[in-house]
Structure 1
């Protein structure tokens, strides 16, 4: 109970200290903004269109702290790490998040996790060194967790894209056979289907409307999506567009191949099922069966030995 009260009071103290420090640092900017609002007023119509209204000093301080931290961290981040993080974020689907903001989230999560672990474990531990080691371990886990989360989201996104591929291109093939153009067919299917694949094609269509050629837009989308099946399909479409082959026939053959691939994947998963079931059977099913069958015989032999 005392340790919990100590932890809560410490968190409240550091929050108040954080607010006081940053209100002191940005005191001049806050005073200028408040005086400008008093003397010149606010143009409500413009502010509603351009930005959200201010909700207080705390939000202003947090926004300024976030902007300042992103600017400082951007100078320290190397180009190699920047490209690697950008690729991970893009493949997981969080394109609005910049690599610098993601690295800042990692650092803040690491500091918060280590600090909370030190507060909760420190008063109950006998030695300070063991508590410090455990806090460092928790801090490292909190630092690595956002990367694990991105990898998980990437795997889920690839799985969804592979599941939607055959249905998506099947509908595109039907529209092409009905006489609709490729862009029109893709637009119609994207309006009917919702998911990561439709979002990627909508982004590609927007790039084509801004002046990018079909081949370049499809090639950029192929690099954006981390799915081998999708990249194989887009390579075939890009080659057919380059050679002038009819898209209807190409996409029809692609949908047939995608259906066969899904069938083979289903068979592969079905053949893996007995191997995956073996471990829970050995750990949870066989021991109770042995206890039920051999238990009475072991008890009988033990009783006869005592008699």
Structure 2
């Protein structure tokens, strides 16, 4: 017992629990259930016999085995040399002790010859076992978290998980595009059609044309309208209005607005613009549901897109040039 206490463990000697009836045996089993290790010291006595014809020591051992609790068994090396006063006097118990020893020897065990040696090998054996297979151990009652503390810890863990998820999403959103994609001042040709009226405003002709813009210019035309969620139709309308204005400017100041109408960007061009801006991580589909979103999906700026818009559109100080 002294050797165990020197290891700062809490021994629960079974001799402290009288095994007189079934209730006491239940108590012993509960004690074993709460133990991290089971230490068996077997000398020259079999012990008091239980109702099943086994000693309570053997019953305890069998129960520890069934519970898969680590067992450290220490057997007397030569039981014949044990003084007569410390051995079994009943023949039947002697036979049962011998059978019990054979059972224990079927697993790993160590032997001792005297009390001094026993204390040493128990201390060393338990110390090794505690290193190889650490148990749950015990803590002071004041150190056990309360229900409120456990709930707070759980909530904090959930909050941490949510923050990690948000951080991962933010990193993904602000991730800059790969260099192999057309971007920035690279040009893209936009095809479009419109209708032009003759001077008599009676006959018309359909005209197909195209113009090239940098990706920065295309984005700067669309992006301000995506600061809040915007429908795909609106995106296309804003880009169409921009091209329509340029077309009038190219025709000169005398061109009448009424002579040109039915402007429409080619679907192929607009689809390419959507895909490219999405690939550049500038825009993304809105997660919100709108009443007309089935007819026309809604888009919005990514975090990176919002930062990039500010970078290319915001007015800079004169001394910054």
The structure with the greater share of residues assigned to strand is 2
The structure with the greater share of residues assigned to helix is 1
Of structures 1 and 2, the larger Rg is shown by 2
TM-score > 0.5, shorter chain as reference: no
Give the structure-2-normalised TM-score: 0.24
